[in-house]
Chain A
Amino acid sequence: MTEASKIVDAKGQSCPMPVLLTAKGIKDLESGQVMLVEVTDSGARSDIPAWASQTGNELVESSEADGVMKFYIRKK
């Protein structure tokens, strides 16, 4: 299991808020640190990976259980 230095709770939020909160959240991290983003909006399934690819941050791991998606993102 990946260790996260920070958790962003975007559960219950709809597009585009999960991506905006992810972008805001990663600003506080140092390069190489990992952030966990928790989302329930199904659009985030493609949006968070698209954001990661666009910004060059690495999507280390993702999982989904009980309607909650978890994305572990390493800051570039």
Chain B
Amino acid sequence: MSDDTPDSMTIIAFSGDLDKLWPTFILSSTGAASGMDVTVFFTFWGLFPLVKDEVRMTGYDSMTKALAGMNPPGMKRAKLSKLNMGGSGAWMMRKVAEKNKLAPPEELFEMCMELGVNLWPCQMTMDLLGVQPAQMVEGLGEPVGAATALQKMAKSDINLFI
């Protein structure tokens, strides 16, 4: 690798939206495939797609449960950032993606794991929203905090907030 090519990328995955999971996982898998050290830090709404699809509810009290109720966890239930229309927009986007041979986020996420992308859940968000480690998908890194994420970002050539 020549010296002027970036060799490290960190993405802060904040939104959890279906249409933002695509660029997050496309860029991180491609970065790892190109030999970069890639880290994705999942925080706030971005944490929900890491919850297993079979887990219907997260939270520890009425408010955090209500949050999970209004924002269903799991990658398969991710909403579009616009034109979601009660889920029919997300359904249509997945159909369009399939027709255009664009792999679904779940498959790209698998590729990220296979290619060694560091997938870090935000510890504070897990505590705040009441998401248990056992409720999240396998293959993630240890939950970390802002200082660890920043330490990685300080060493990264590319930093994105999606």
State the A residues within 8 Å of B (CB).
12-17, 19-20, 22-24, 41, 51, 53-56
- Where chain B touches its partner, the secondary structure class is loop
Q: Knowing A14-B101, A20-B115 are in contact, say whether A54-B26 is a contact too (CB < 8 A).
A: no
**B33 within 8 A of partner (CB):** yes
Q: How far is the CB of B25 from chain A (nearest CB, A)?
A: 9
| Chain B residues with a Cβ closer than 8 Å to the other chain, count | 18
A43 to B103, CA, bound (A): 15
The answer to whether A55 touches B29, judged by C-beta atoms less than 8 angstroms apart, is no
Q: Which residues of A contact B29 (CB under 8 A)?
A: 16, 20
Determine which of A17, A23, A53 lies in contact with B103 in the assembled complex, contact meaning CB atoms within 8 Å.
Answer: A17
The answer to whether B115 touches A23, judged by C-beta atoms less than 8 angstroms apart, is yes
State the B residues within 8 Å of A (CB).
1-2, 5, 26, 29-30, 32-35, 100-103, 108, 111, 114-115
A53 to B3, CA, bound (A): 12
A20 to B25, CA, bound (A): 12
Determine which of B34, B101, B102, B108 lies in contact with A23 in the assembled complex, contact meaning CB atoms within 8 Å.
Answer: B34
Closest to A40 in B: B101
The answer to whether B101 touches A55, judged by C-beta atoms less than 8 angstroms apart, is no
A16 to B33, CA, bound (A): 10
The answer to whether B26 touches A16, judged by C-beta atoms less than 8 angstroms apart, is yes
The answer to whether B111 touches A20, judged by C-beta atoms less than 8 angstroms apart, is yes
Determine which of A15, A41, A51 lies in contact with B34 in the assembled complex, contact meaning CB atoms within 8 Å.
Answer: A51
The answer to whether B33 touches A51, judged by C-beta atoms less than 8 angstroms apart, is yes
Q: How far is the CB of B10 from chain A (nearest CB, A)?
A: 17
* Given A22-B33, A54-B5, 8 extra CB contacts under 8 A: A14-B101, A15-B26, A19-B33, A20-B111, A20-B115, A23-B32, A24-B115, A56-B35
A15 to B34, CA, bound (A): 14
Interface centre among B35, B100, B108 (most CB of A within 10 A): B35
Q: How far is the CB of B86 from chain A (nearest CB, A)?
A: 27
